[in-house]
Structure 1
Amino acid sequence: MTSFAELPNSATKLPDHTQLPESDGTFVKNFQEHPQSLLLTDSITSKLDALHPDAQYCIGRDSGIYWRITEPPERGAESPNWFYVPNVPPTLNGTFRRSYVLWQEYIAPLIVLEFVSESGPEERGRTPWTGKFWIYEQVIRPAFYGIYEVTKAKVEVYHLVERHYHLLPANDRGHYPITQMSVELGIWQGQYLNLELPWLRWWDDQGNLLLNGQEKAALVDARTDQAERQLAQAENQLEKAETQLEQERQRAERLAALLRAQGIDPDV
């Protein structure tokens, strides 16, 4: 088995993403993982679009990151539940990525997230060449590695400093700053789709929750309803003012008629 670091420079002889398996045949562990990945992607996309006006970035969800040559090939890949790579094209040669191949692109993901149903012994494994923690820390080397324990509603975020992961402390809001993205990562209790659960979510660096598409639409609807109510109130007030003005005009006319009947010129 050969690691990415040990590969020769003639990378053109190595398999690319179209020649490597895109799945190892396993399935998602629980029903939260898929919507959790969707929620993370949906709410961060506008932020990433602002960070990358050239659209040069990609997001992977349960997709393979190939880091060594093995037999069978899929044993040389890790498939994080969610990861983000900056400054790479979203497609290769006009086709969707089947996987992310380090010896083909060289740029490491900025952040990798793993969702675990139990305590996550595999995700915390430090055994060389087999433990996920070791592989992320020593070979793939994302700047941030997050382990989200679903049942405990808890997330640990590690920051790569001098080739080793250090546990990142939470800030005053209980979030974990991902400085290169100008966002924070944390736990949010609420409903997404039809599930009321603690969710892993993004905030901006000012502590404002980054909304998903459904929430943005609901906010627009709420603002539209509020604007319509305010407009209706303004129209009602205008109507009342016009009615009052007409009543005052009629009162003035009656008073003028009364004065004239008494021989008094109301204009003097």
Structure 2
Amino acid sequence: MTPLQLQPRNTLPPITWEKLPADFPLPDEPVENNLQPLLAAALRESLELADLILESMLIATNFGICATVGDKTVVKAPDWVYVPSVKPLPPGEIRRSYTPHAEGENPTIVMEFISATEGGEYSINPHYPYGKWYFYEHILKIPTYVIFHPQIAILEVYNLVNGKYEAQSPDENQRFWIEALNLFLGTWMGKKAEFEGYWLRWWDKSGNLLLWGSELVEQERQRTEQERQRTEQERQRAEQAEQKAVRLAERLRVMGIDPEEIS
């Protein structure tokens, strides 16, 4: 599902990048369901555990990304956003929103997770307050836009090509190469936390799944159990060898042979 290619023609007012004042009233819209933050947190968790997150990066959930178009401040809060490098904040300051260029690099990836009721993820409205698709494509010009339908496991990845989003095709494993992170992104069926269903997961170039914390713990538990079993098997083999040696010595003595003299 993509917007119509014949998008409305209009001339955008000048776009400027001004950091929001501390008292700017940000939209306070609750997430549409409890799955959205779980999906976002799971994506970050596996990156963090794989040591792929740097202090200079910004990875946020339902976080306001801002631009000033003409005299209007536009704020959109994608379900997941990745910024390769941001300027550090002064000590004690909390980041409430993010204005590209004024506070660091432009976001490289934005993701939207669609609930039962679409929230405008495909909107190409070219007028204030602007549709999400239009805002990401024409105003922010974000290289990669991901839309995920978790209820039906449909994952769409769009790359910005000559100013327009073009659908990317998955590989033979139905995964999409995400250049900015040097990873594959795909869907995965299973359980995490209290939810069993479709998740977004990362894979490296070699096809290895980036694991969650619970999976790493289970992996370590299995390694420990395997090592315990190997140790137990070695103990049993040593015990059996010792018993065999004792029996052999007894037979030799019965035959009138001193085992000590043989050794």
Which interval holds the TM-score relative to the shorter structure?
0.7 to 0.9
Q: Is the 8 A contact 1:114 1:148 kept in 2?
A: yes
Deviations 1:36-90 (A, max 9, x none): 111111012244x3474xx3211010000011268885xx11100011111225x
Superposed counterparts of 1:132-147, under 5 Å: 132-147=132-147
Q: Please tell me the residue identity of whatever aligns with 2:243.
A: T
**Root-mean-square deviation (Å):** 2.5
Match of residue 93 from structure 1 = 90
> How many angstroms does 1:205 deviate by?
2.0
> How many angstroms does 1:222 deviate by?
1.1
Q: Is the 8 A contact 2:49 2:212 kept in 1?
A: no
Q: Is the 8 A contact 2:65 2:97 kept in 1?
A: yes
Helix, strand or coil for the counterpart of 2:147? strand
Q: Which has the higher helix share?
A: 1
Q: Please tell me the residue identity of whatever aligns with 1:93.
A: P
Q: Please tell me the residue identity of whatever aligns with 2:108.
A: L
Q: Please tell me the residue identity of whatever aligns with 2:224.
A: T
Deviations 1:194-220 (A, max 9, x none): 211111221112222111111111111
What is the TM-score normalised by the length of structure 1?
0.83
Q: Does 1:199 align with 2:199?
A: yes
Helix, strand or coil for the counterpart of 1:44? helix
Match of residue 111 from structure 1 = 109
What is the TM-score normalised by the length of structure 2?
0.84
Identity of counterpart residues, as a percentage? 28
Aligned length: 246
Q: Please tell me the residue identity of whatever aligns with 1:25.
A: D
Give the distance between the partners of 1:243 and 1:37, measured in 2 at CA.
Answer: 59
**Cα distance change on mapping 1:60 and 1:236 into 2, 3 Å:** same
Give the number of the structure whose alpha-carbon radius of gyration is greater. Answer: 1
Match of residue 6 from structure 1 = 15
Match of residue 237 from structure 2 = 237
Q: What runs of 5+ residues in structure 2 fail to find an aligned partner?
A: 1-11
Helix, strand or coil for the counterpart of 1:101? coil
Q: What runs of 5+ residues in structure 1 fail to find an aligned partner?
A: 259-265
**Cα distance change on mapping 1:88 and 1:209 into 2, 3 Å:** same
Give the distance between the partners of 2:242 and 2:234, measured in 1 at CA.
Answer: 12
Q: Is the 8 A contact 1:177 1:184 kept in 2?
A: yes
